[in-house]
Amino acid sequence: MAEENLTSTTQFLLTAFTDCPEQALSLFLLFLLIYLITLLGNAGMVILIRVDGRLHTPMYFLLSHLSFMDICYSSVTVPQMLAVLLEHGAALSYTRCAAQFFLFTFFGSIDCYLLAIMAYDRYVAVCRPLLYVTVMTQKACLGFVAGAYGAGLFSASVRTVSAFTLSFCGTNEIDFIFCDLPPLLKLTCGDSYTQEVVIIVFAIFVIPACMAAILVSYLFIIVAIMRIPSSGGRAKTFSTCASHLTAVSLFFGTLIFMYLRDNSGHSLQEDRVVAVFYTTVIPMLNPLIYSLRNQEVKEALRKVLE
């Protein structure tokens, strides 16, 4: 049968890393350690921001939601990857695969929106410091976060429906660590033009749109920093943005490589390495990035430990 509709498929088989069973245990222990550090670091960041009054500012309010999203984002994919490594493959039902794809897209989209909002927060703090208190009010921050959650929900819903109405043929094996778009598209056959256009359009509304907002914000920030007469003042002002800029570069760099390129001519092994980086390593690094380069967080952590 040349073409088979996805709804007739009862399960998918995740077969990532099965080609190197001798490394499975080592990879399992490594990813388990990274996952535990991710949970501890991001949960610690959320708790620290909640208990320390000095961190009750818009920037740290947004950071607490980013840390919470990193916990959710990682928890959707890493446990599944650990199961694949431990069992040398894993079977996923159609419904579970769709749910995993939806949640991964939902949390990943919110991450993108939050990073864009945090860039706007830094823009107001650096370029409009006298208006910061009146612009970034508690009500405004709640509205920004609610908008990010709502936009993420809408985007994830449309992309999931579009992806799981595609036609698939051949094997139901996915040589990947979870149900993601690139490996699913490699199984498609027949006319999938409409669904792929919808998926690409909503990807454009998330990744490039957020990147454009971030780039514009930092363009104004750089101009404002260059107008500061003293080098010490420029360095101090830029240091308030350095952590966020580092996190943005890592996260969006991997997303661009993964989703905003032609899927033909790229191996799934290459995609697996990139997927491991943005699903496991980046969520682990974010608390370190924001704590090691931030004096306020280090002071709050020292106070709590004492």
Token couple for 302: 């020292």
Answer yes or no: is 131 within a domain: yes
Q: Is 69 exposed, middle or buried (0-12, 13-18, 19+ CB in 10 A)?
A: buried
Answer yes or no: is 239 within a domain: yes
Centroid of chain to Cα 244:
14
Domain that holds residue 121: 11-298
In tens, the pLDDT along 92-122 reads 887 888 899 899 999 999 999 999 999 999 9
- Structure confidence at residue 43 (pLDDT): 93
Q: Are 127 and 222 in contact (CB under 8 A)?
A: no
Answer yes or no: is 2 within a domain: no
Q: Please give the tally of structural domains in the chain.
A: 1
In tens, the pLDDT along 233-262 reads 777 777 778 888 888 888 888 877 776 665
Instruction: Pick the more confident residue, 69 or 290.
Output: 69
Answer yes or no: is 118 within a domain: yes
Residue 161: which CATH number?
A: 1.20.1070.10
Banded model confidence at residue 178, pLDDT cuts 50, 70, 90: confident
Instruction: Give the pTM.
Output: 0.87
Answer yes or no: is 226 within a domain: yes
Answer yes or no: is 80 within a domain: yes
Find, among 123, 119, 125, 141, the residue nearest to 249 by Cα.
Answer: 119
Answer yes or no: is 6 within a domain: no
DSSP string spanning 112-159?
A: HHHHHHHHHHHHHHHH-GGGHHHHS-HHHHHHHHHHHHHHHHHHHHHH
Confidence check: pLDDT of 263 > 50: yes
- Structure confidence at residue 236 (pLDDT): 77
Among 47-61, 91-105, 287-301, the range scoring the smallest mean pLDDT is 287-301
Answer yes or no: is 76 within a domain: yes
- Structure confidence at residue 151 (pLDDT): 92
Find, among 40, 28, 13, 27, the residue nearest to 283 by Cα.
Answer: 40
- Structure confidence at residue 142 (pLDDT): 95
